[in-house]
Each structure stands twice: as C-alpha cells, then as structure tokens.
Structure 1
Amino acid sequence: MHRVPRSIMVGSTGRNTGKTEFACALIRSLKERYTVHAVKITTIYDGCTTCIRGDEGCGVCTSMKGELRLNEELRPGGKKDTSRMLDAGAEKAWWLRVREGSLADAAKELAKLVPEDGILIFESNSIRRVCEPDLFFMLGSPDNSEVKDSARSAFGEVDRMVVFDGKTFDFNIGSVSLKNGRCVYPHNAAAVLLAGGLSSRMGSDKRYLDIEGVPLVEHVFSQLDISFAEVLLSVADNPVPGLPRTRQIPDRYPDTGPMGGVASVLEESEFTVNFVTACDIPYIPISLVQKMLRLSKNHQIVVPVDRSGKLETLFAVYSRSVLPLMKELLESGERRIRMLYDKVDTCYVDIPLWMNLRNLNTRADYLAYLAG
C-alpha cells in the first residue's frame, strides 16, 4: 500500500453523481488556504475496447502506448474535467491514464504530485486498492442498484459517502482542512477523552505534564478536536481547566475503573459512534483512528491489537448500543472492559508494526518521550 500524504481522493458509485463537481468544490474551498494540485485518473482495464464511460469514446485511452501516461492540463476554460479543476483554482492539474496492472506505479506517481505544504485532490475508485490517501469521499448512494464494481470493492475504505442533489452536497465542504500535515474533517462521531485516572505511578497529575508548551490533556484534545464533531471529557470529580467549551462528564460509577468512565460518557453522548482514548497517549495516530471509524460502520466495538496480542481497550471505538450490557457488567461487579468483547460484535484490528501507541504512565515514560 502506497501512502499519498496530504491527499483527498474522490470516487463515485456511478455516472452523474457529482464527482467532479465535488472535487472542484473542494478545490475552491481549499485554494484560499493552501496550494492545491488535482488529478483526473482513468483506469484502463484489460481487454477493454470501448470507453469506460460506456459509450464509443474517443479512442485515446484504448490506443495508449505503455502502462501509464501523465498529461498536464494547460488550458483552463474548457469542458474537460481537468480544465474545470484549473478553473476552480487548482494551481496544476493532470490527466493520468493507467492500465489496471500498473496502478501501484500510478500511486507512486501521485505521491510526486503533492505540492509542498499543499494538498493533492484526485478522482478515482480503483486506485484505492493500492494507495492510501488521507481522506476518501465517494459520491452517490451505496444502495444504488447500478453501483460500479470499482466502487463496490472500495466501500470499506470510504470515509464519507456524499450525496449531490444537483445543487448542493449533504456535506460541509468548508470543514475539510489540513492539520498537522494531514487532511481531516470532523467525523459524525464523538471522541471520549478519559481524564479521571489517579496518576499513581506518575507521582503527579499526568494531565498537566508539559507537552510542547501545553498540558498533556490539552495537547491530546487539540488532536481530537479537528477530527470529531464533539470531544467529551470523562473526569472523576473536579472539572479540568483550560477546556471551557468541552462537556466534562463526571464518573457516575465510582471505583469501577475506566469502564465506569466510559459508561458515564456513553450515557451523555449524542453520537452512536464514540472513539475512546486515555489522556496519557500524547500522539494520536489519526490514520489508525480513521480506519477504526470506517470499520465501526459494521461492528459495535473496534479495538486495536499489538503484535504481542495485547488489546488497546482504551484506544478503541464503542457504539452506544453496548451501553446496556456495559451497565450490567458494572452492576455485577465486573470492572474489566474487555469482558464486554465476546458478548457483542467486536472487530479486532492489527496495529501496524511501525506504529507505537505510547502511554505515559511513569516519570521515566515521560522523560523518554521528551527525549524522543
């Protein structure tokens, strides 16, 4: 899988879904803040002798020599999709034609087109099987009986389905931004930040450890705030200062450990999907969080597993639907949240080998983190 940093992929379930309109709307919104490049990708399938659009076509693709060809668009004002991208405000636009067997090479080419400190927007479905953008939007409805095969095979990777009624989109395009070198938008979900622990092994309140000039709890909050519709704070008793616009939920199940805090927040959350994390994880890998959110469409719990088999129970996605069973466990005296997993639809996702969900539990952990 080839990573394409600072990129947004736009696909579609079929024709006339508003795919290029959406890509151009993104360009118009983002060009005021960032340099934007854009690519129209056409995949040529083996044995195809007619235009992939379903008509006779112009023959340019089927007669192409070689495995891929990249052409820069130099003429704004035309009817071609690449011309429309320039008209929308893209600094550069290209048409990338690629044979199906060379999609991996095309993904490598895409990574070269990302502008420095800017954003690349590209249209495709099929290339998602070999490349990982920051965000993947798909135009149209998955319930459409005429969904393209390339779209159907990519449904599991879609961050947000978007519907276009011919005039407007059911998505706030202005909410997309570039934060910490990654394209993000607030998901229709809540983040739950657990900040009610005793910090007994740290020797002081870990919530206020200095991380890059701000308290740890604020540092973690700022990473979550850009990717979720709301961030809820789970606290034991006293509110945490410095986060005035955050709903802070007192623990209603004292002396029951983290599961009591999670249950208390789920009772107050307005969202079905809730990503839960401890406040002592200073770096939140948003790529893993986004993958978990995608998987949560079909599961009640999504929990990461490291290479040793350890479950990251406090870096997981919990549906509000598990709340009744969670309360039953608490009332029975059970404090281990993992005891919930075999009783509901739980999905286990491997943590990539290069990724480290580092917790700051002790003073030594903190000093090691500061040392890099």
Structure 2
Amino acid sequence: MIAEQKHTRIELPQMLLIAGNGRNVGKTYFACRAINTLAKQTEVTGLKISAHFHSYNKKDVLIYDDNFVILSESQISGKDSSLMLQAGAQAVFFIMAPPEYLPKAFSAIKKYLNTAAIVCESGGLHTIIQPGLFFFITTPGAEIKKPEHLNFKPIIINNDGESIDFDIDRIRFNNNKFTLAS
C-alpha cells in the first residue's frame, strides 16, 4: 500500500483568496469591491482561476500548455476577469486549468506575481496555497456544497443578494501581507 503524500501548502501572505458555495454567490462582486478599496492604497493584481476552459482571444494568451491556459486580461467586457481590471487591478490573469494541473499552472504564473497585493477568485487554489486571508462566500441558510473548503478555516461571508455581512474596510495590506482590522 502506498502512503498518501501530504503536500505542504505554499505560504502567500500577499494573497487574498476567495472561494464560494457555487455559482452566483457573489465571489466576483466581493473580489471587485476588495480590489477597488485596495487599489486606492497599493498596487493590486487580480487572478481568476477556473477548472473549466472557456472561449478566449488568442492574443490574450500569456502561457499556453497542453493542460492549461493562462490569459492576460486586456479587454473591457462583462467577464469576471475584466471586471477585476475595471475595479482597479493593475494586471489581471485568468487561469483555466483542471484541478490536477492547477499546481503546474500556478507555478507558471508565479513569476508574473510580484509582491503586490493579489486578489484571487478560485475554488481550488486553497489546497496548494496558504493565503494571507481566505474568504468563503455563500448565501444565508444555504447548504454547503463543498464542505472541504471549511477545513481550511475561511472567513465565511453571507451574501443575500443585496448586501454582504462583512465590512470590506477591515481588510489591510501592509508589508506585503493581508490582515484584518478588528
């Protein structure tokens, strides 16, 4: 019997990571509000990660691999990654990678992520990254569809469609590290 290999997560204190309890729970809304607030005081890089491949413009390809694609967002549109750019991020990258190739894709993008604040929307990155802050967005009273997220002790935020139960101004970024003010 082969023992299961435990992976040590990479510490990335300059990352604010956002996962959610499914689609349309407010992940991008929260990411954009965080970017907008943070961009007033520091450089922010946006990162959107999807386990699924979407159509894309070949001119936006930063890195192409047989198993993943990384785009540098430059278009103004309604796409989540474009909304991050419009919210004030200096650069936004969109990674499309199945879960088994996410470590390789993240390794490839790391050289483009400087010590600036990184606001990342991803449902799977928490398994390989220990971020400065980890948020989990859900709707009030909803059954948790992916309870494994809770093993990583995220800050749970409820979004009822009209407001979130979290004060975005509590997020601090100092010395290349995210923290929360009381």
TM-score by length of 1: 0.42
- For the 8 Å contact 1:2–1:107, the answer to whether it is kept is no
- Give the 3-state SS of the residue equivalent to 2:47 in structure 1: strand
Within the candidate set 115, 122, 125, 1:124 is matched to 122
Query: Which residue type is aligned with residue 16 of structure 1?
Result: N
Distance 2:19 2:131 in 1: 12
> Which is strand-richer, 1 or 2?
2
Identity score, percent = 25
Tell me by how many angstroms 1:105 deviates. 1.8
| 2:105 equivalent in structure 1 | 106
- For the 8 Å contact 1:8–1:121, the answer to whether it is kept is yes
| 2:69 equivalent in structure 1 | 69
Distance 1:129 1:73 in 2: 25
| 1:39 equivalent in structure 2 | 47
- For the 8 Å contact 1:35–1:90, the answer to whether it is kept is yes
- For the 8 Å contact 1:36–1:115, the answer to whether it is kept is no
- For the 8 Å contact 2:140–2:158, the answer to whether it is kept is no
- Give the 3-state SS of the residue equivalent to 2:110 in structure 1: helix
Tell me by how many angstroms 1:114 deviates. 2.8
Structure 2 CA distance for partners of 1:4 and 1:67, relative to 1, 3 Å: farther
Could you say which structure has the greater relative contact order, defined with CA pairs below 8 angstroms and 6 or more residues apart?
Answer: 2
Query: Which residue type is aligned with residue 105 of structure 2?
Result: A
- For the 8 Å contact 2:47–2:121, the answer to whether it is kept is yes
TM-score by length of 2: 0.82
| 2:167 equivalent in structure 1 | 172
- Give the 3-state SS of the residue equivalent to 1:128 in structure 2: helix
What is the root-mean-square deviation of aligned Cα atoms in Å? Answer: 2.2
Are 1:3 and 2:1 matched, yes or no?
A: no
Tell me by how many angstroms 1:71 deviates. 0.4
- Larger radius of gyration between Structure 1 and Structure 2: 1
- Give the 3-state SS of the residue equivalent to 1:156 in structure 2: helix
Distance 2:108 2:173 in 1: 22
Q: How many residues align?
A: 167
Tell me by how many angstroms 1:143 deviates. 5.0
Are 1:156 and 2:151 matched, yes or no?
A: yes
Tell me by how many angstroms 1:85 deviates. 0.6
Query: Which residue type is aligned with residue 155 of structure 2?
Result: R
Tell me by how many angstroms 1:168 deviates. 2.1
Counterparts of 1:93-242 in structure 2, within 5 Å, are: 93-116=92-115, 118-141=116-139, 144-145=142-143, 147-149=144-146, 152-186=147-181, 229=182
Distance 1:170 1:110 in 2: 32
Structure 2 CA distance for partners of 1:59 and 1:29, relative to 1, 3 Å: closer
Query: Which residue type is aligned with residue 94 of structure 1?
Result: F
Structure 2 CA distance for partners of 1:104 and 1:30, relative to 1, 3 Å: same
Structure 1: gaps spanning 5 or more residues: 45-50, 52-57, 187-228, 230-372
Query: Which residue type is aligned with residue 10 of structure 1?
Result: I
Distance 1:157 1:20 in 2: 20
Distance 1:142 1:68 in 2: 34
Tell me by how many angstroms 1:142 deviates. 8.2
Distance 1:184 1:110 in 2: 24
